[in-house]
Amino acid sequence: MPSDLPPEKVRDAFAGLQATLNDSCTPGNCEYFLGRVYDELHRLDKAMKADPKGPGHFPEPIALVRKLDVELGGDRSFENLKKHQKTLIGTRDKINTWMQGHPDDYR
């Protein structure tokens, strides 16, 4: 059944990703944190691809998520996210930096 909801706005998805910036992988929180970063990256990726400006407007962030997905090999298990934690967090940080340089895209 198709959804009647409009696509999520990039700014809303980006806010979700930014909310992970002050969190980290700590005992008891690591599985949640890494899963959340993964989910927020994909939420933003989906919003960018659905944005009226078109996915070509967000080439670097979309390419970074694609590269992450190739490295993860479709496995979003905690063990795999932990194994690729440096890449996962690095992808988040690179996309955050890119978005900060393109404020018109999320304000």
Question: Three-class SS of residue 96?
Answer: helix
Is 85:77 a contact under the CB 8 Å cutoff? no
Q: How far is CA 62 from CA 22, 25, 32, in A?
A: 23, 24, 23
Q: Name the residue type at position 101.
A: G
Residue 80 pLDDT class (50, 70, 90 cuts): very high
Share of the chain above pLDDT 70, in %: 92
The pLDDT assigned to 81 comes to: 97
- In this structure, are residues 81 and 34 in contact, taking their beta carbons and an 8 Å threshold? yes
pLDDT, mean over the chain: 91
CB neighbours of residue 20 within 10 Å:
19
pLDDT given for residue 1 in this prediction: 43
